[in-house]
Amino acid sequence: MSRARIPLIVRMRQKWESIAPKLTYVGLWASLALLMVIFPFIQGPSSSSAFTILFTLLLGAAVMTIRGGRWLKVVALLSLAASVASRLAFMLTGEVWLEPLSYLFATTTLAWVTVFLFLSLFETKEVTSTTLWEAVSVYILIGLTWASVFTIVETTSPGSFEDTSLPGAAMNFPTFIYYSFVTLATLGYGDIVPMSQEARGLAIMEALTGVLYMAILISRLVGTWRPRRKDEEKE
């Protein structure tokens, strides 16, 4: 390898290392968009398989946002594999208890990634564009984690939530993604209503989570941000 090529390769590697984290966050957002946009139009026998594929992509994209220690990603991958395996077993056997189990492992996966990214976000010493991408991704992961929790509650105790705009409609994970982000943003449209005390308590906890996260995040970013000095701008 010639000496002339070494600086170019180094620069390309540095460029990739700066872009790669952003691509993982884009993958997370894209997989969420696919699940919310495509799945409602899939009907019939293929809907269950399509949901499993989209759901796996979503969990996989969440796991890929982990950077750093390999064991962190290994734990997340094992939890993801357990969620997918129990989901497939539910599709093949029809055993009712396997469905909430799959969402339990999904919740574990999402919560694990969320906590890790949250801690990583607050360890940063300087606000960069990657920091902002990470902050938005944590917000999305919080909403997805709560959506999975709500799904567990509904599958183990049917009737915990009710869709007043579509009475009798199935309360599935995509529906709870919508409800979760409405609750997280404290919009409160009122079309989906928590009926049980457990469901209402969880809805309150998520609303508080959304408010506290934004307050803590803004204070942290403001405290970390520093204006560039004139000598830095000239460089």
For the entire predicted model, the pTM comes to 0.84
Which run of H or E residues covers position 192? strand 192-194
Taking only the tens place, the pLDDT of each residue in 20-61 is 667 788 888 888 888 888 877 777 767 888 888 888 999 998
Domain 5-234 belongs in CATH node 1.10.1740.10: no
Q: How confident is the model at residue 111 (pLDDT cuts 50, 70, 90)?
A: very high
Q: How confident is the model at residue 145 (pLDDT cuts 50, 70, 90)?
A: very high
What span, in angstroms and rounded, lies between the C-alpha atoms of 48 and 36? 14
Helices and strands: H and E segment counts in the chain: 8, 2
What span, in angstroms and rounded, lies between the C-alpha atoms of 82 and 104? 10
10 has pLDDT over 70: no
154 has pLDDT over 80: yes
16 has pLDDT over 50: no
pLDDT for 148 equals 95
pLDDT for 106 equals 94
- What residue segments make up the domains of the chain, in order of their start? 5-234
Query: Tokens for 129?
Result: 């564009």
203 has pLDDT over 60: yes
3 has pLDDT over 60: no
Over the chain, what is the mean pLDDT?
Answer: 83
Which run of H or E residues covers position 194? strand 192-194
Residue where the block lists tokens 């105790």:
157
Q: How confident is the model at residue 232 (pLDDT cuts 50, 70, 90)?
A: very low
- Whether the CB-CB separation of 163 and 175 falls below 8 Å is answered with yes
Main-chain phi, psi angles of 77, to 5 degrees: -65, -40
What span, in angstroms and rounded, lies between the C-alpha atoms of 168 and 82? 31
